[in-house]
């Protein structure tokens, strides 16, 4: 799936003539902290809630002396690239533009999270397993073989790394509620099982984090 498939026109972009007060009202309505500024279809940049609060909210945003953030996605970008941009720039929305920098719409962090929540890997019942592995020893093929040797299947996986560490975390979702035999097999192959969760625990954890994020955005 690409960015153009997730574009929403619910949130209207700001014009340079809109006031800071107008922008804050829209941010409050949609639980976001950033808005794109568009002039005659051309994307000019993103303005943040902090940018507005540091200026006179009764003035037009076009009069603000700002170095606007220019993070954006192209319509053909994969949703993983959209997610990377949101995380890298700590944004709540990402504008989508065409090759001429014309504004096409935006994608909100909430929309993206809802999309992932509805994918088959989240909808299928199962449990979560977190492995800690040295980067040079990582082999998804071997991990899959270990899981499949116990009659289970990996529904999804993702990596979490730290530039200051040689270790990575591999988070797996498998189609098995009871993970004891899989954990034991990973242990025999000298893997470190950092954590495991059943479906209910993991969903509750995600829901708590999502609710915390929405509460933060609504501050």
Residue at token pair 């909210």: 57
Domain at 13, CATH number: 3.10.580.10
How many residues make up the chain in this entry? 219
Q: What pLDDT digit, counting tens, does each position of 101-122 carry?
A: 999 999 999 888 888 777 756 6
Lowest mean pLDDT among 152-156, 200-204, 206-210: 200-204
Query: Using CA atoms, how far apart are residues 181 and 179, in angstroms rounded to an integer?
Result: 6
Residues 142 and 81 reside in one and the same domain = no
- DSSP reduced 3-state for 125: coil
Beta strand 154-161 with 127-134 is unpaired
Q: What pLDDT digit, counting tens, does each position of 32-53 carry?
A: 999 999 999 999 999 999 999 9
Decide if 219 is inside a domain. no
CA atoms within 13 A on the CB side of 164: 0
Residues 47 and 71 reside in one and the same domain = yes
Domain at 167, CATH number: 3.30.2130.10
Residues 7 and 101 reside in one and the same domain = yes
Walk across the sheet containing 154-161 and list its strands.
Answer: 154-161, 167-174, 127-134, 192-198
pLDDT band per the 50, 70, 90 thresholds, residue 100: very high
Residues 13 and 108 reside in one and the same domain = yes
* Domain end marker among 114, 144, 159: 114
Q: What pLDDT digit, counting tens, does each position of 125-159 carry?
A: 889 999 999 999 999 999 999 999 999 999 989 88
Lowest mean pLDDT among 25-29, 51-55, 136-140, 207-211: 207-211
Query: Using CA atoms, how far apart are residues 19 and 63, in angstroms rounded to an integer?
Result: 9
CA-based nearest residue to 109, from 94, 125, 126: 94
Q: Kindly report the CA angle at 193 between 188 and 197, in degrees rounded to 5?
A: 125
Decide if 217 is inside a domain. no
Q: How far apart are the first and last CA of the chain?
A: 32
Residues 104 and 131 reside in one and the same domain = no
Residues 166 and 181 reside in one and the same domain = yes
Residues 10 and 100 reside in one and the same domain = yes
CA-based nearest residue to 101, from 54, 19, 40, 181: 40
CA 10 to chain centre: 19
pLDDT beyond 70 at 199: no
Residues 172 and 89 reside in one and the same domain = no
Residues 125 and 103 reside in one and the same domain = no
What does pTM read for this prediction?
A: 0.67
Residues 97 and 136 reside in one and the same domain = no
How many domains are contained in the chain?
Answer: 2
Residues 94 and 17 reside in one and the same domain = yes
Host domain of residue 10: 3-114
126-162 CB burial, b ≥16 within 10 A, e <16: bbbbebebeeeeeeeeebeebbeebebebbbbeeeee
* Domain end marker among 63, 91, 114: 114
pLDDT band per the 50, 70, 90 thresholds, residue 200: low
Decide if 214 is inside a domain. no
Residues 110 and 12 reside in one and the same domain = yes
* Domain end marker among 72, 88, 114: 114
Beta strand 167-174 with 127-134 is antiparallel
């Amino acid at each position: 799936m690409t960015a153009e498939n997730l574009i929403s026109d619910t949130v209207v972009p700001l014009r340079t003539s809109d006031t800071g007060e107008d922008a804050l009202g829209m941010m409050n309505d949609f639980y976001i902290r950033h808005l794109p500024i568009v002039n005659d279809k051309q994307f000019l940049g993103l303005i943040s809630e902090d940018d507005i609060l540091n200026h006179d909210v009764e003035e037009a945003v076009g009069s603000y002396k700002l170095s606007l953030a220019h993070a954006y996605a192209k319509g053909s970008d994969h949703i993983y690239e959209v997610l990377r941009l949101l995380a890298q720039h700590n944004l709540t929305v990402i504008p989508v533009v065409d090759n001429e920098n014309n504004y096409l719409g935006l994608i909100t962090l909430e929309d993206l999270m809802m999309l992932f929540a509805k994918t088959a890997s989240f909808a299928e019942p199962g449990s979560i397993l977190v492995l800690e592995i040295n980067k040079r020893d990582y082999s998804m093929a071997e991990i899959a073989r270990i899981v499949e040797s116990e009659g289970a299947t990996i529904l999804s996986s993702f990596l979490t790394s730290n530039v200051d560490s040689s270790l990575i975390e591999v988070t797996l979702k498998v189609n098995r509620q009871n993970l004891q035999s899989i954990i034991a097999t990973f242990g025999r192959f000298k893997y470190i099982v950092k954590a495991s969760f059943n479906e209910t625990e993991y969903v509750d954890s995600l829901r708590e984090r999502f609710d915390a994020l929405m509460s933060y955005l609504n501050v």
